[in-house]
Amino acid sequence: MGFVHLSARSQFSLLDGAMSPKALATQAAELGLPAVALTDTCNFYGAFECWKAAKGAGLDFVLGTTLWLWPPGLGELNPREPDGGFHITLLIEGGEEGAPADQKSAGYKNLCAIITHAIFDGMHYRPRVDFEFLEAHAEGLVCLTGGLNGPMGEVLHGAEGEERAAKHVEHLVRIFGESHLFFELQDTGVEGQPAVNELARALSARMGIPTVVTNDCRYVECTDAVTLDLLNCIARGVPVDHPDRLPLATDQHYIKTVEEMRALFPRDLAAVDRTVEIAERCRFKFKMAPPYFFPATDPPDADPLAPEGVKKKDAPRADSQANWEYFYKAFPPPRDYNMPDPAVAAVPPKPDGAGSINGYFEWYVSQGLKLRLEQLETPEEQHAEYWDRLRFEMDIIENMGFPAYLLIVAEFINWAKDHEIPVGPGRGSGAGSLVNYSMRITDIDPLRFGLLMERFLNPERVSMPDIDVDFCQDRREEVIEHTRKKYGEPLVSQIITYGKLQAKAALKDVARVLGLDFNAADRIAKLVPNELGIKLGKALEDERLKALAEGDPIVGRVANLALRVEGMTRQTGVHAAGVVI
Domain boundaries, the chain: 11-281, 312-487, 495-580
Question: What pLDDT score was predicted for residue 349?
Answer: 96
Q: Please, which residues have CB within 8 angstroms of residue 227's CB and are 6 or more apart in sequence?
A: 18, 219, 564, 565, 568
The backbone torsions φ and ψ at residue 112, rounded to the nearest 5 degrees and listed phi first, read: -60, -45
Residue 503 corresponds to which amino acid?
A
pLDDT in tens, the chain (581 residues): 799 999 999 999 999 999 999 999 999 999 999 999 999 999 999 999 999 999 999 999 999 999 999 999 998 888 888 898 999 999 999 998 889 999 999 999 999 999 999 999 999 999 999 999 999 999 999 999 999 999 999 998 888 889 999 999 999 999 999 999 999 999 999 999 999 999 999 999 999 999 999 999 999 999 999 999 999 999 999 999 998 898 899 999 999 999 999 999 999 999 999 999 999 999 999 998 777 888 889 999 999 998 999 999 999 999 999 999 999 999 999 999 999 999 999 999 999 999 999 999 999 999 999 999 999 888 999 999 999 999 999 999 999 999 999 999 999 999 999 999 999 999 999 999 999 999 999 999 999 999 999 999 988 877 888 899 999 999 999 999 999 999 999 899 999 999 999 999 999 999 999 999 999 999 999 999 999 999 999 999 999 999 999 999 999 999 999 999 999 999 999 998 899 99
| DSSP label at residue 13 | G
HSE value, Cβ hemisphere, 13 Å, CA-based, for 435: 29
Rounded to 5°, angle at Cα 47 from 71 and 10? 75
Q: Which fold has domain 11-281?
A: TIM Barrel (3.20.20)
| DSSP label at residue 169 | H
In terms of Cβ atoms closer than 10 Å to its own Cβ (0-12, 13-18, 19+), residue 169 is buried
Q: Cα separation of 332 and 320, whole Å? A: 17
Cβ–Cβ under 8 Å, residues 17 and 11:
yes
In terms of Cβ atoms closer than 10 Å to its own Cβ (0-12, 13-18, 19+), residue 226 is middle
Q: Cα separation of 252 and 412, whole Å? A: 53
Q: How many CB atoms lie within 10 A of CB 190?
A: 17
Which helix (H) or strand (E) is 63 found in, with range? strand 60-69
Cβ–Cβ under 8 Å, residues 66 and 118:
no
Residue 384 corresponds to which amino acid?
A
Q: Cα separation of 395 and 293, whole Å? A: 20
Question: What pLDDT score was predicted for residue 92?
Answer: 98
Question: What pLDDT score was predicted for residue 462?
Answer: 77
Question: What pLDDT score was predicted for residue 96?
Answer: 85
| DSSP label at residue 41 | B
Question: What pLDDT score was predicted for residue 1?
Answer: 75
Question: What pLDDT score was predicted for residue 293?
Answer: 83
HSE value, Cβ hemisphere, 13 Å, CA-based, for 467: 26
Strand, coil or helix: what is 88? strand
Question: What pLDDT score was predicted for residue 97?
Answer: 84
The backbone torsions φ and ψ at residue 503, rounded to the nearest 5 degrees and listed phi first, read: -50, -55
Cβ–Cβ under 8 Å, residues 406 and 436:
yes
CATH 1.10.10.1600 fits 495-580, yes or no: yes
End-to-end CA gap in the chain: 45
Q: Cα separation of 423 and 416, whole Å? A: 7
Residue 275 backbone zone (phi > 0: left; psi -120 to 50: alpha; other: beta): alpha
Cβ–Cβ under 8 Å, residues 88 and 151:
yes
Q: Cα separation of 203 and 391, whole Å? A: 71
Q: Cα separation of 193 and 210, whole Å? A: 18
Please, what sign has the CA dihedral across residues 436, 441, 445, 450?
negative
Cβ–Cβ under 8 Å, residues 282 and 91:
yes
Cβ–Cβ under 8 Å, residues 565 and 509:
yes
